[in-house]
Structure 1
Amino acid sequence: MSHSYQGPGRAPMFATDAMCATSHPFAARAALEILGEGGNAVDAAVAGALVLGFCEPAMTGLGGDVFALIHDPSTGKSRALNGSGRAPAALHAENLRAQGLASVSPDSIHSVTVPGAIDAFDRLIGEDGRLDLATVLAPAIHYAESGVPVHRRTAIDAETFHGRLKGAGKTHFLNAGQPYREGELFASKAQADALRLIAQDGAKAFYEGPIMEDILATLRAEGGLHTAEDFAATQATPVTPIRRAYHGHDLVELPPNGQGATALLIAALLEKFDIAALDPNGAERVHLEAEATRLAYAARNRFVGDPGDGTLDLDGMLSEQAVDALASQIDPKRAGTILQPRAEAMHKDTVYITVVDRDGLCVSLIYSVFWPYGSGWASERYGVALQNRGAGFTLDEGHVNELAGGKRPLHTLLPGLIEVPGHYAMPFGVMGGPYQATGHAHLLSNLVDFGMDIQAAIDAPRSFLDIATGKLELESTFSETVAAKLEEMGHTLTRAAVGMGGAQAIRRDVNTGLLTGGSDPRKDGIALGA
């Protein structure tokens, strides 16, 4: 593909040894430095992810959750870790229904689930890494202590969302009472102290020691039902990825309580249509993607939740019979009418990192506090921002995603992988809250149906249908002609104020070892190779 180099954008990144792609250059550099110290892709991904907590403090942090997908080239197999936290054992939907509540407010202390990230990081390093935890945490400790100059997207997030902060959250995440501005230095000596304790004693310092006590004091003071036992019981869970072919390319996702099955269903529905014959940025393609989203998210809201010790039967979503029945409901020329309340509160962003090392080990990792600054609360002493992922539960009695003590909520987080066994493996992620499932299918289609390179597939315009409101959101890069055509097809449109989420990807060619990476201009990140 020719390029005139007369407009914005960049070419894909190429490398032959190793690569990291993520939403901030400091995190990418930290990952490559860890590889240089003898670490593998797992060590590097964890190190970079923790650095992102100080580069993008509204988006993620120590009080959040993690999902990781690992592809091993020596076996050709993928494995995954679910590092999402649980509701406190004493909290149940019936308690909140008795108070007259219809949902778990993102601003409620009851939205705070026990953070799963630190246990997940500890387990990843202990079971799959090559370095010790202290070495992997060193870059994050450095940036927490010394500070990170605030980049533009981070400054926009701070200005937009700082009003969510409350209590000690204001002390730890505001600059003399004001949101951090572009170029100002964000540091957190309190979190550096917490990381030093974790480096010394592992996850135990977070779930049983002084950090837990600090977090628990904040939660209990606000009326939370959390206990020390809830923290001590927290464990990340190994899970088996789920997959489905799209025109010969396998899309690999995590099983519930994540929404990976939703991405598989959107892709399955799109495969029933000749997407490749359409204009990639035309109204017809946007419409089909919106209708697939409408049906897939409605199915998700019926079928997806925490399966506990078992597995969910996803045949109602992903069997060929189910896919065919849903596809038959799509009118290629007219918007559908299905509207359905979301099972989770809506959020817009998170952080993502992917690393491929010199041995070809691929890591796809996503890390979030759900809403910007999570619940808005932070612990007093160590400044740990507390996620509000519990707002992802429903209070509907008998629903698969009904809030219950010790249960995980429906998660929007999706670390992904695209693979043609024997040819290539591509760890990737598309941030953007509920958009992520649509984003995975959209990126897959850009690559497979239109032959776009990784960077072009990431750069391409995005749209998202919110099935709760029925509104189809378009980025500004879609023309007014396309917008008018979509309105003629029956869609109600809104324009995105800021670009939808962000994405990163690295493709590893199995035969040559060539690495090809891309990083989203909607964030301030980079694909960095060695």
Structure 2
Amino acid sequence: MQRRTFIAALPAAALLPAMAQAQTGTRGTPGAQGAQGPGQGGAPQPATAAEAPLPPVWEAGQDRFIRPDVHAGDRPVGASFASRTAAYGLNGAAGTAHPLATQAGIDILKRGGSAVDAAIAINACLGFLEPTSSGIGGDAYAMIWDPKLKKVVGLAGSGKSPRGLSLETVRARAKNGALPALGALSVSVPGAVDAWWTMHQRYGRLPWAELFQPAIGHAEAGAPVPDIIAYYIRRSLAAFRRPGNGLEEVANALRTYGLADGKGPALGQVFRNSDLARTYRAIAAGGRDAFYQGDLARTVDRYFKRIGGWLRYEDLAAHRSEWIEPNRTDYRGTTVHALGANTQGLATLQMLNILERFDLKGAGFQSALSIHLQAEAKRLAYEDRARYYADPHFAKQPVEWLISKDYAAERAKLIRPDRILTPVYPGQAPSRGDTTYFSCADKDGLMVSMIQSNFRGMGSGLVADGLGFMFQDRGQLFSLKDGHPNIYAPGKRPFQTIIPGFATRGGDPWMSFGVMGGDMQPQGQTQIIVNRVDYGLEIQSAGDSPRWHHEGSSQSMGEDSPGLGATGLLRLESGVPLATRQRLAEIGWTIGDPDGGFGRYECVEHRMDGPTRVYAAASEMRADGCALAY
């Protein structure tokens, strides 16, 4: 019989001391709830409680209702903060940010499709179901476990800036020394459709056209909009309607996403997009050429000419995705893979290399020391990110040096356990945002880790006439500083925040995973690896565990983060122990309230039970999605 506790009619002040005291116990920690570290007897205990607990932040009547000191749970086994058990199956698995997209992927797998077929169907569905984070107006990256090659292969589906847009024009039209978030100036070639096609040519099993049928059906029939997606659509449309925002035209976006009142769907309201369904039908019938060289490309060309933009038919026709070799590092026996190219993937590897120099398990799960060390590793890695990461076709990157163990050892020496490092500078090389992530796997062992995005706030705000999708604003991440490796140039790929994750053990696949959310992505990926490797959490609780998020590092545009001071802002999610918050403040961190920007995680794990392959799939509570396996 399970015990139940009922507390009624007590003021919040009366509950706080008891809540603080509860933080001193073992309940709610991985070790107390039965999670085992690799070869260990359980996770370390959290820090003791603070004498003066942090008061709750009440936002009743607003978008959120927050109690920083409380994280609900009470599961009888495992970590109490885990929202559910991972989904297990023998034949295939998928985790996405929308249940209907997950179901579409599973249906494709059951019909004999490969994991790549499922990934394409999922991404097409998400372009309709989750337009706040994805769509064919954006770019895509993937890491794929190839069971025949027994290795991870990478695909970069990143589009270039328009060839007819010069640096001089960009500088003349820039706002406050940077490319604007909205409007045609920040639009680059969408790479997603060609990425799908390139993957399908190598790994697809089902006919190309079949992969679009689930998305077409949903777009025509409509689908009720879940909570988080409704919130972000309405917030984005409000920004698009704001006077003086730089948008060349807004009518198409409001007509496509705004419904009758132009404000966007509310929770549970049915949303349809017949324009996108027609666009998908054209791509299904004509392949990638329909998008990049056919009537769709000509429509895009006419639209940008009409509004005074720069993207042209020739830019689309010249686009091609690239197969690339992922970079990797070893972290305590786990090989973590990351894409380089023009992404921030190297930051995850740099952070892990630095953290390997410290005993995080001994520091304690959710302790101030553990979070302090991770956040300092982030600050060091992100200064290098701002200094060196760019399109390798335009700027030579010192990749081997950046992810070397020797360099990590040098950087680790800068970190002090009892105080925050300030200021933080990039290392000296030797001479010479909105996103969706999804993961799926098939019965033959093919696994896909894929991420796709229109970038910030749904994208540029621009929707070509009758096409039903928004163009990305990824060009906003170009620098305008002379000499910076990421400086804008025509026909150049901008710095990208989107990064899929993959981890192997002993030469075999282990995890296909990702954490959506702009600058949060390397921070989130690092926390997932630390939670699994150092603290022994299984894949669901590793994602549900309370997170930290540091803001304030130098940016890829060559600028500091404005208004956040020398050390930036360390946001701590609800559920981080009160004593941890207090100690981090004592060390010198400026602690910020939770803001919903802690990323959104999906994962598929591969394991062998004797001769039998077993998949586990996880989808966390911070998104509207789900994970399924069969």
Q: Verify same fold: TM over 0.5.
A: yes
Summarize the alignment of residues 49-64 of structure 1 with structure 2, pairs less than 5 Å apart. Answer: 49-64=123-138
Name the aligned partner's letter for residue 605 of structure 2.
R
Q: Tell me the equivalent position of 1:168.
A: 252
Q: Tell me the equivalent position of 2:202.
A: 127
Instruction: Find 1:381's aligned residue among 444, 454, 466.
Output: 466
Q: Tell me the equivalent position of 2:603.
A: 505
Instruction: Find 1:496's aligned residue among 579, 594, 612.
Output: 594
Name the aligned partner's letter for residue 156 of structure 2.
N
The structure with more radius of gyration: 2
Q: Tell me the equivalent position of 1:106.
A: 181
Q: Tell me the equivalent position of 1:354.
A: 439
Work out whether 1:48 is the aligned partner of 2:122. yes
Summarize the alignment of residues 325-364 of structure 1 with structure 2, pairs less than 5 Å apart. Answer: 325-338=410-423, 347=433, 349-364=434-449
Per-residue Cα deviation, 1:422-451 (whole angstroms, up to 9, x for no partner): 454211011111110111111001000000
Work out whether 1:528 is the aligned partner of 2:628. yes
Per-residue Cα deviation, 1:184-241 (whole angstroms, up to 9, x for no partner): 1111100100011111111111112222222223323333222211110011111111
Work out whether 1:478 is the aligned partner of 2:576. yes
Instruction: Find 1:210's aligned residue among 295, 299, 311.
Output: 295
Work out whether 1:4 is the aligned partner of 2:76. yes
Distance 1:304 1:7, change over 3 A: closer
**Once the 2 structures are TM-superposed, how far is the Cα of residue 120 of structure 1 from its aligned partner?**
0.8
Write the distance in 2 (CA, Å) between the matches of 1:160 and 1:309. Answer: 36
Query: Secondary structure of the equivalent of 1:203?
Result: helix
Query: Secondary structure of the equivalent of 2:604?
Result: strand
Q: Tell me the equivalent position of 2:532.
A: 447
Instruction: Find 2:615's aligned residue among 508, 515, 521.
Output: 515
CA contact (8 A) 1:104 1:393 kept: yes
Query: Secondary structure of the equivalent of 2:616?
Result: strand
Query: Secondary structure of the equivalent of 1:202?
Result: helix
CA contact (8 A) 1:164 1:375 kept: no
CA contact (8 A) 1:284 1:332 kept: yes
**Once the 2 structures are TM-superposed, how far is the Cα of residue 499 of structure 1 from its aligned partner?**
5.3
Summarize the alignment of residues 94-243 of structure 1 with structure 2, pairs less than 5 Å apart. Answer: 94-98=168-172, 102-165=177-240, 166-176=250-260, 177-243=262-328
Write the distance in 2 (CA, Å) between the matches of 1:119 and 1:424. Answer: 26
Name the aligned partner's letter for residue 89 of structure 2.
A
Name the aligned partner's letter for residue 580 of structure 2.
V
**Once the 2 structures are TM-superposed, how far is the Cα of residue 95 of structure 1 from its aligned partner?**
3.1
Write the distance in 2 (CA, Å) between the matches of 1:332 and 1:388. Answer: 39
Task: Give structure 1 stretches of 5+ with no counterpart.
Answer: 342-346
Write the distance in 1 (CA, Å) between the matches of 2:147 and 2:110. Answer: 20
Write the distance in 2 (CA, Å) between the matches of 1:168 and 1:398. Answer: 38
Query: Secondary structure of the equivalent of 1:124?
Result: helix
Query: Secondary structure of the equivalent of 1:514?
Result: strand
Q: What's the % identity of the aligned pairs?
A: 35
Task: Give structure 2 stretches of 5+ with no counterpart.
Answer: 1-32, 35-74, 241-249, 427-432, 554-560
Per-residue Cα deviation, 1:283-329 (whole angstroms, up to 9, x for no partner): 11111111011010001111110011886331342223321221111
Write the distance in 1 (CA, Å) between the matches of 2:106 and 2:137. Answer: 25
Work out whether 1:267 is the aligned partner of 2:352. yes
Name the aligned partner's letter for residue 154 of structure 1.
I
Query: Secondary structure of the equivalent of 1:4?
Result: coil
Per-residue Cα deviation, 1:82-118 (whole angstroms, up to 9, x for no partner): 0011100122334333456511111231111110011
Single out whichever of 490-499 and 149-158 deviates more from structure 2.
490-499
Q: Tell me the equivalent position of 1:75.
A: 149
**Once the 2 structures are TM-superposed, how far is the Cα of residue 340 of structure 1 from its aligned partner?**
7.9
CA contact (8 A) 2:93 2:441 kept: yes
CA contact (8 A) 1:461 1:475 kept: yes
CA contact (8 A) 1:303 1:316 kept: no
CA contact (8 A) 2:150 2:508 kept: no
Write the distance in 2 (CA, Å) between the matches of 1:397 and 1:292. Answer: 28
Instruction: Find 1:285's aligned residue among 370, 375, 388.
Output: 370
CA contact (8 A) 1:315 1:322 kept: no
Q: Tell me the equivalent position of 2:3.
A: none
Single out whichever of 149-158 and 310-319 deviates more from structure 2.
310-319
Name the aligned partner's letter for residue 438 of structure 2.
I
Per-residue Cα deviation, 1:392-450 (whole angstroms, up to 9, x for no partner): 11111121111111110111111110110345421101111111011111100100000
Q: Tell me the equivalent position of 1:87.
A: 161
Write the distance in 2 (CA, Å) between the matches of 1:353 and 1:32. Answer: 12
Q: How many residues align?
A: 524
CA contact (8 A) 1:24 1:55 kept: yes
Name the aligned partner's letter for residue 386 of structure 1.
F
Write the distance in 1 (CA, Å) between the matches of 2:526 and 2:191. Answer: 27
CA contact (8 A) 2:394 2:492 kept: no
Work out whether 1:392 is the aligned partner of 2:477. yes
Query: Secondary structure of the equivalent of 1:296?
Result: helix
**Once the 2 structures are TM-superposed, how far is the Cα of residue 157 of structure 1 from its aligned partner?**
1.3
Q: Tell me the equivalent position of 1:344.
A: none
Name the aligned partner's letter for residue 288 of structure 1.
L
Name the aligned partner's letter for residue 305 of structure 2.
R
Summarize the alignment of residues 10-25 of structure 1 with structure 2, pairs less than 5 Å apart. Answer: 10-25=84-99
TM-score normalised per structure 1? 0.95
